[in-house]
Chain A
Amino acid sequence: MTNPLRDPRDKRLPRIAGPCSLVIFGVTGDLARRKLMPAVYDLANRGLLPPSFALVGFARRSWADEDFEQEVHDAVRAHARTPFRESTWQQLARGFRFIPGDLSDADAFARLAAVTRELDEQQGTGGNHAFYLSIPPRMFGTVAEGLERSGLSSAPSPHAWRRVVVEKPFGHDLASARELNTAIERVFPAESVFRIDHYLGKETVQNLLALRFANQLFEPVWNSTVVDHVQITMAEDIGIGSRAGYYDGIGAARDVIQNHLLQLLALVAMEEPVSFDARSLRIEKEKVLEAVRLHADPDACSARGRYRAGWQGGEQVLGYLEEDGIPASSTTETYAALRLDVSTRRWAGVPFYLRTGKRLGRRVTEVAVVFKRAPHLPFDATDTSQLGQNALVVRVQPDEGVTIRFGSKVPGTAMEVRDVTMDFSYGHAFTQDSPEAYERLILDVLLGEPPLFPQQPEVELSWAILDPVLEHWARAGSPEEYAPGSWGPESADDLMARDGRSWRRP
């Protein structure tokens, strides 16, 4: 049916999710408290959730619905981005339910099934339920099974839907990613599985697509004729903090390169999709990921490191091995850099350098497209000694924006050219009203619009790229150490120097 109140010209009417519930497994976890529950509240506060929306928590706590409500209330008060409004809260709170139980407890799943049926009747959720697995991946199979056995995995009518949401990491190598996927897709069809990579919900990542495909200015230079190389950086200035249990054995490459950086690479390098629907975008991303090549010798195209103890910005910090819960025998890397090539006509001969790490100089995520030098400079060599390579930099976070770097004449009688930057900034203020990544992603799940969610083929292609390096590192012992607050180990600089290039200081 076409709803007579909706009109494609009517851009003011927001896309509101239909009747549904969101069931969060692992609702006592950090992510649920800091991100998911506040995002649900913010969505409701922006009027994007229907009055029938219900939020169901599932965890091993002997809570009643009221205790759960209090818990959500505290999380919302502490972390929501929009102001607290009593009316929004009253609308939301009617749909709160809590299921105490263990993930492997069949009775708990039976209770969950009963609660969803009750919600369908009392709250009007219409048989539509999304299951958010905010739990360790090894439990995915157990939960999928529990959902299947209690009849929750299939919708009662063809109009209703069941969806499952999982968070990265999607496995720790190709084989385990396939295993995980089998556990889930045995129960849920591929199009009902939503893999959340919160980076892809960020405004700037989406702006990358607008920048490339809505403008005439950039696409003509977006190729190997003009581009020298591309640097994609995601740096954090903090250590692993309390995440030792998760991080050790995973490391920087699995944690960040496999998902965020390869997705960014795909968005930068892909061809223009025929449209912006999920399928067309995915086709282009898959194509370009398939074309990504790694040098045959992993040592020649990779670098890894581990932060040591020291002073960082006036603060004394621990080395990775001294962090709480890290065994002395750990060989996990906290810094990883890769050189990748994309074997397409557009990108032949243009290396993509990816790097990520903890305890680096500052927190920044950016994509820098570095251009070739002009083939001929009609100036004296001394006039242009300070002229670098032109660059277009998309800053994903913080201080979202786009910078273009080019040469300009220094004022004065002499002809001297030096680098300047032209800066477009979304500005701190500009983004404060724009939805947080999780808000956007949760809404997309409830609307069933998956353009920002990678599907299994992309996950597998990414692992296939990374696996040879990971295997090589596993055999190579401890990573090289780097000073906290620096930009990584020496081997990373060597990686660039071998190609006659150097890393930008972001």
Chain B
Amino acid sequence: MIIDLPDTTAGAVARTLVDLRDRYGAMALSRVLTLVAHADRAEVEDTIAAAVHASHEHPLRVVVATETDADRERSAGHRDRPHLDAQVRLGGDAGAGDVVVLWAEPWLLEDLASLVMPLLLSDAPVVAWWPGRAPQVPAQASVGQIAALRITDAAAGEHPLATIRDLAAAYVPGDADLTWGRLTLWRAALAGAVDAVATDGVLPDVDDIEVSGSVDSPSVDLLAAWLAIRLGRPAKVRRVPVPHLSGVVVRFADDTELRLERPQSSDLAHLSVPGQPTRPVALAPRDTPDCLAEELRWLEPDGVYGEVLRQGLPRVIPT
């Protein structure tokens, strides 16, 4: 069910939600969090789709705030109060939650926290999400200040590599970035490979770490940073003209090496571990809805991510 509420206020939207629940029964109960997404107009539908996907794992209310259409604004006529259009989606159109879309004038979005306040679920954590361009300092953004978790996506902006470094400089516990979640399968495969290297319980000393991947993928830097911290050696990054990540090589002091490499345009990587045959590992790139669902699993600061940003990135050597 989709209900349009043109020229309205957030308070009126909240009353509509209560009315709808009274009228049509409990369509979305037991929601565990409010997700407030600040998106560009073109990103609205993708943002909703990702939130609806995540709602299957975490029943939630998502409030997507975006700039109002300039033409609409002109045709709106009266200017005695700021213009706000809203849309409410419930039931089949909203997965296991409810969806509110707000089209607001830019200056209203600057104080997003006060705009969405009437729509926040009572006594449930708030998660802020910027699916596109990340704010300079997420923790100081309006909605960032009321959020338990602030999710950015460095790869979605215009300058991904610069963005991840800005985010590192601005890092406050509770910040999160989807680039980190996109690495989870790679990190799990590598952790499993290290288990396999050390079959007799001893891991040889690490000599050299090299991570290769796309020229503009911050995931490459984060994976290198993580390995650098964990294995206690600086990690090199090699930029190659492929999308995403393409490979990791860890060389040990005894001249053996661990390689995890994914050929271009394949979901199947190859893992080779000293003393064992090369084996295929399924490593499909993860999409945003999946990564968002993963972020919402722990509504607490991810200390490992913070460490990677602050202590790991300085140990990454570009080649």
B278 to chain A, nearest CB (A): 9
A489 within 8 A of B: no
CA distance A7 to B268 in the complex (A): 26
Within 8 A of A (CB), among B264-319: 266-268, 271, 273, 276-277, 279-284, 293-294, 297-298, 302-304
CA distance A1 to B155 in the complex (A): 36
Interchain CB contact under 8 A, A87 and B187: no
Alpha-carbon distance between A496 and B266 when the two chains are bound, in angstroms: 63
| Residue in A7, A12, A126 whose beta carbon sits within 8 Å of that of B181 in the complex | A12
A152 and B85 CA atoms in complex are apart in Å by 70
B268 and A91 within 8 A (CB): yes
**Cα distance A5–B231 in the bound complex, in angstroms:** 7
User: Could you say which residues of chain A place their CB within 8 Å of the CB of B199?
Assistant: 126, 159
Interface flag for A6 (CB, 8 Å): yes
In the bound complex, residues from chain B placing their C-beta under 8 Å from that of A11 are 297-298, 302
Assess whether B196 is interfacial by the CB under 8 Å rule.
yes
Residues of A near B227 (CB, < 8 A) are: 5
Among A43-51, A55-63, A365-373, A409-417, the one that faces the other chain is A43-51
Query: Is A449 positioned at the interface, with any CB of B under 8 Å from its CB?
Result: no
Q: A3-B194, A91-B268 are in contact. Are A123 and B96 (CB under 8 A)?
A: no
The answer for the CA separation of A307 and B187 in the assembled complex, in Å, is: 55
- Whether a CB of chain B sits under 8 angstroms from the CB of A124 is yes
Q: Mark A406-445, 1 if CB is under 8 A from B, else 0.
A: 0000000000000000011111011011100000000000
Q: Is B76 interfacial (CB 8 A cutoff)?
A: no
Indicate if A115 sits at the interface (CB-CB under 8 A): no
- Report whether B281 and A91 are in contact in the complex, using a CB–CB cutoff of 8 Å: yes
The interface residues of chain B lying within 8 Å CB-to-CB of A429 are: 55-56, 59, 95-96
The reply to whether B196 and A50 form a contact with Cβ atoms under 8 Å apart is yes
Q: When the two chains form the complex, which single residue of B57, B191, B202, B294 contacts A430, counting CB atoms closer than 8 Å?
A: B57
Question: Complex: how many Å from CA A52 to CA B267?
Answer: 17
Contact flag A122-B192 (CB < 8 Å), given A4-B230, A86-B267: no
Neighbour of A3 across the interface among B29, B198, B281, CB < 8 A:
B198
Q: In the bound complex, do residue A1 and residue B202 qualify as a contact, i.e. CB atoms below 8 Å apart? A: yes
Is A16 an interface residue, CB under 8 A from the partner? yes
**Is the Cβ of A12 less than 8 Å from the Cβ of B187?**
yes
Report, as a range, how many residues of chain B touch the other chain: 35 or more
A427 touches B203 (CB 8 A): no
In the complex the two chains form, is B191's CB within 8 Å of A5's CB?
A: yes
| A340 vs chain B, min Cβ distance (A) | 33
Report yes or no: B279 in contact with A4, Cβ–Cβ below 8 A. no
B255 to chain A, nearest CB (A): 20
Secondary structure dominating the interface of A = loop
Within 8 A of B (CB), among A87-128: 87-88, 90-91, 94, 122-124, 126
The number of chain A residues with a CB under 8 A from chain B is 43
Contact pick for B194, options A4, A47, A87, A124, CB 8 Å: A4
Q: Which residues of A contact B276 (CB under 8 A)?
A: 52, 124
Residues of A50-95 contacting chain B, CB below 8 A: 50-52, 85-88, 90-91, 94
A194 to B29, CA, bound (A): 38
Question: Are the C-beta atoms of B188 and A427 separated by less than 8 Å?
Answer: no
B21 → chain A closest CB, angstroms: 14
B267 touches A87 (CB 8 A): yes
* Chain B proximity mask over A215-226: 1 for CB below 8 Å, otherwise 0: 000000000000
Contact of B203 among A1, A47, A423 (CB under 8 A): A1
For A241, the chain B residues whose CB sits under 8 A away are none
Complex-state Cα separation, A396 to B317, whole angstroms: 53
Does B195 touch A at the CB level, under 8 Å? yes
Report yes or no: A124 in contact with B230, Cβ–Cβ below 8 A.
no
CB neighbours (8 Å) of B194 from chain A are 3-5
8 A Cβ contacts from A291-311 to B = none
- B230 lies within 8 A of A9 (CB): no
Contact of B30 among A12, A91, A427 (CB under 8 A): A427
Q: Does A18 contact B (CB under 8 A)?
A: yes
Decide if B185 is an interface residue (CB 8 Å cutoff).
yes
The answer to whether B30 and A424 touch across the interface, beta carbons within 8 angstroms, is yes
**Chain A residues whose C-beta falls within 8 Å of the C-beta of B232 in the assembled complex:** 4
Q: How far is the CA of A13 from the CA of B187 in the complex (A)?
A: 7
> In the complex, how many angstroms separate the beta carbon of B291 from the nearest chain A beta carbon?
10
Q: Are A3 and B195 in contact (CB under 8 A)?
A: yes
Kindly provide the distance from the CB of B54 to the nearest chain A CB, expressed in whole angstroms. 10
Bound complex: CA A426 to CA B31 (Å): 10
Residue ID in chain B nearest A9 by CB atoms: B303
Flag if A87 contacts B294 (CB, 8 Å): no
> How far does the alpha carbon of A124 sit from the alpha carbon of B188 in the complex, in Å?
18
User: Are the C-beta atoms of A6 and B267 separated by less than 8 Å?
Assistant: no
**Given A1-B202, A429-B56, is A423 in contact with B195 using a C-beta cutoff of 8 Å?**
no
Residue of B nearest to A87 (CB): B267
B77 at the interface (CB under 8 A from A): no
A60 CB, min distance to chain B CBs, angstroms: 31
CA distance A94 to B282 in the complex (A): 12
Question: How far does the alpha carbon of A207 sit from the alpha carbon of B14 in the complex, in Å?
Answer: 32
Contact indicator B56/A433 (Cβ below 8 Å): yes
Of B59, B96, B230, B279, the residue contacting A5 (CB under 8 A) is B230
Q: Is there contact, CB below 8 Å, between A16 and B279?
A: no
Considering the complex, give the chain A residue whose CB is closest to the CB of B191.
A5
Which residues does chain B contribute within 8 Å of A86, judged by CB atoms? 267
Q: Measured between C-beta atoms, what is the minimum distance from B256 to chain A in Å? A: 15
Q: Per-position contact with A for B30-45: 1 when CB-CB < 8 Å, else 0?
A: 1000000000000000
Q: Is there an interface contact between A123 and B198, defined as CB atoms closer than 8 Å?
A: no
Chain B residue contacts of A433, Cβ below 8 A: 56-57, 293
Complex Cα distance A7/B190, Å? 13
Q: Does B71 lie at the interface of the complex (its beta carbon under 8 Å from any beta carbon of A)?
A: no
Instruction: Give, as a whole number of angstroms, the nearest-CB distance from A408 to chain B.
Output: 16
Does residue B184 face the partner (Cβ distance < 8 Å to A)?
yes
B187 touches A94 (CB 8 A): no
Q: Which residues of A contact B268 (CB under 8 A)?
A: 87, 90-91
A14 on interface, CB distance cutoff 8 Å:
yes
Cα-based distance from A13 to B227 in the complex (angstroms): 14
Complex: chain B residue closest to A428, CB-CB: B96
Asked whether any CB of chain B lies closer than 8 Å to the CB of A201, the reply is: no
Q: Nearest Cβ distance between residue B202 and chain A, in whole angstroms? A: 6
Q: Please, which residue of chain A has its CB at the minimum distance from the CB of B58?
A: A430
Partner of B56, one of A14, A88, A425, A430: A430
Cβ distance B263 to chain A, nearest Cβ, rounded Å: 11
Q: Is the CB of B201 within 8 A of A1?
A: yes
Instruction: Pick 22 A–B contacts, CB within 8 A, sort by A.
Output: A1-B203, A5-B191, A5-B231, A6-B191, A9-B304, A11-B297, A11-B298, A12-B304, A16-B191, A47-B282, A51-B189, A87-B267, A90-B282, A91-B282, A94-B279, A122-B277, A423-B26, A423-B29, A430-B57, A430-B96, A432-B56, A433-B56
Q: Lowest 7 CB-CB distances: which A-B pairs, in order?
A: A87-B267, A429-B96, A87-B282, A51-B279, A5-B191, A88-B282, A124-B276
Q: Which residues of A contact B (CB under 8 A)?
A: 1, 3-7, 9-14, 16, 18-19, 44-45, 47, 50-52, 85-88, 90-91, 94, 122-124, 126, 159, 423-427, 429-430, 432-434
What would 20 more interface pairs be, CB under 8 Å, given A18-B195, A432-B56?
A5-B190, A5-B191, A5-B227, A44-B282, A47-B189, A51-B279, A51-B281, A85-B267, A86-B267, A87-B283, A88-B282, A94-B279, A124-B276, A159-B199, A425-B30, A429-B55, A429-B56, A429-B95, A430-B57, A433-B56
